[in-house]
Amino acid sequence: MPRGVSKSNLPTKICPVCQRPFTWRKKWEDCWDEVKYCSARCRNRRSQANEGRLDKS
């Protein structure tokens, strides 16, 4: 019998920088509510995403 949860049943979020979905990871178990970005690259580029959002307004 397999243990745990199948990957298709994990929670997902949309990254505000790259607009791609990303799924829950074990290392985010305790802080999933605070996770906003899918990767360190997107976290570093968050200011560029905010500037782009301001230009569209």
pLDDT tens digits for range 25-57:
999 999 999 999 999 999 999 887 676 665 554
Residue 3 domain-assigned (yes or no):
no
Q: Read off φ and ψ for residue 20, nearest 5 degrees.
A: -105, 145
What confidence score (pLDDT) does residue 8 get? Answer: 84
**Tokens (6 digits) for 25:** 């990871």
Question: How many domains would you assign to the chain?
Answer: 1
SS3 at position 22: strand
Whether the full predicted model's pTM is greater than 0.85, yes or no, is: no
24 lies in some domain: yes
DSSP code per residue over 15-55: -TTT--EEE--GGGTTTTTT---SSHHHHHTHHHHHHHHHH
3-19 pLDDT, tens digit per residue, is 777 888 899 999 999 99
Range of the domain at 16: 11-56
* β-sheet bridge partners, residue 21: 14
Q: Whole-angstrom Cα distance, residue 54 to residue 57?
A: 5
